[in-house]
Amino acid sequence: MGANKQLSKLTLQDGSTFLGYSFGSKKTVDGEVVFNTGMVGYPESLTDPSYRGQILVLTYPLIGNYGVPGNELEDNLLKYFESDKIQIQGLIITDYSFDYSHWNAKKSLSDWMKEYGIPGIYGVDTRDLTKKLRTKGTMLGKIVQGHEKITLKDPNKRNLASEVSIKQPITYEKGKKKILLVDCGAKNSIIRAFLRRNFTVIRVPWDFDFEQENVDGIVLSNGPGDPKKCKETIAHVQNILSKNIPILGICLGSQILALAAGANTYKLKFGHRSQNQPCIEAGTNRCYITPQNHGYAVDTDTLPQDWREWFYNGNDQTNEGIKHISKPFFGAQFHPEASPGPDDTEFIFDMFVRAMK
């Protein structure tokens, strides 16, 4: 099964090269090279729109062993994926399992990647690669087939949220109360979280003018890239802050909320992408284990007087959440909806629901 091996390589912007064997699509792509330390959940991770423009390195050594599930729908959403397609640019792993086994598997990881034109490399020393990224910081890179010229483009210079957002509003009917979800690259699990709580979800494009919408609450979704590129979203949120409509920002949405409030954001050296990031609730000793996927953070020193840090990261003390001191405005830098990862912080959805009553 793996007999006809074709060499492929990953070249980083510092000139270093990592050799391996090709699987998935036989394409040349470039992007921002990032790593994720999760042990499971590659179908969810690969379809997470927050990975747009990125070449993903998985540190867990064996990938592909449980295959890929089918395209079953639930509430008009793909049941086992976080969006309608693979979002990463490419995939780098140590060992690819050609023989997959799972009761719900419908195809192999490699075949799935071929469907969407996503290249992968296996046989790479991902420990060495991750240590380099962990020390020097996130770098641009390119998956190269053969002897092609190395030119690198920084995806963060584009408005990546506009690339992954829906183009027209979509309504997911459920209960009488309505959530407006600003889709900057929303994961399906965020929608599911509110449908389970009997809310109708109105999903709108990233630049949709929602200021006159009659809804019970507004959710600013996760998404890829630099939050400052979402200028239209920031402007709409700024205008809505004068009202008391509850707002919840998730990941990129938390950064957009902070920017709208007047704070600043900055790029992290290597970002947080894993299922086990410790987040401490400010003013307490309570620590939550959270799934994360972001490369930017809020500068808490720039928060206005009526805003407070809500959570901070137990590893590097960077911001993991913000909240207003008197109005129902909240932002979580991690993913309370999980998928993949622990759902320790799903209570944030319940807290947001209570704010809408």
Residue-wise pLDDT for 188-225, tens only, equals 999 999 999 999 999 999 999 999 999 999 999 999 99
Q: Does residue 115 surpass a pLDDT of 60?
A: yes
The answer to whether 249 and 240 have CB atoms below 8 angstroms apart is no
Active site residue 251: yes
pLDDT in tens, 118-172: 999 999 999 999 999 999 999 999 999 877 777 899 999 999 999 999 999 999 9
335 is catalytic: yes
What would the mean pLDDT of 31-41 be, rounded to a whole number? 95
Per domain, the residue ranges of the chain are: 7-157, 160-355
Residue 334 above 80 pLDDT?
yes
Q: What is the pLDDT of residues 279-318, one digit of tens each?
A: 999 999 999 999 999 999 999 999 999 999 999 999 999 9
Strands 264-281 and 17-24, bridge-based pairing: unpaired
Cα dist. 279→33, 50, 282, 311, 355 in Å?
A: 24, 20, 9, 6, 23
Q: Is 287 a catalytic residue?
A: no
State whether CATH 3.40.50.880 applies to domain 160-355.
yes
Token pair recorded at residue 167: 């183009």
Q: Using one digit for the tens of pLDDT, what is the confidence trace for 46-66?
A: 999 999 999 999 999 999 999
Q: Which one is catalytic: 44, 82, 320, 337?
A: 337
Confidence of residue 3 (pLDDT cuts 50, 70, 90): low
> Cα–Cα distance between 178 and 169 in angstroms, integer?
14
Query: Which amino acid is located at 276 in the chain?
Result: N
Catalytic choice (272, 294, 324, 335): 335
Q: Which two tokens stand for residue 158?
A: 């584009």
Fold of 7-157: Glucose Oxidase; domain 1 (3.50.30)
Structure tokens at 298: 């809020």
Q: What is the rounded distance in angstroms from the CA atom of residue 123 to the CA atom of residue 7?
A: 10
Question: Which of 184, 230, 251, 279 is an active site residue?
Answer: 251
Determine the 3-state secondary structure of 7 from DSSP. Answer: strand
User: What is the pLDDT at residue 170?
Assistant: 98
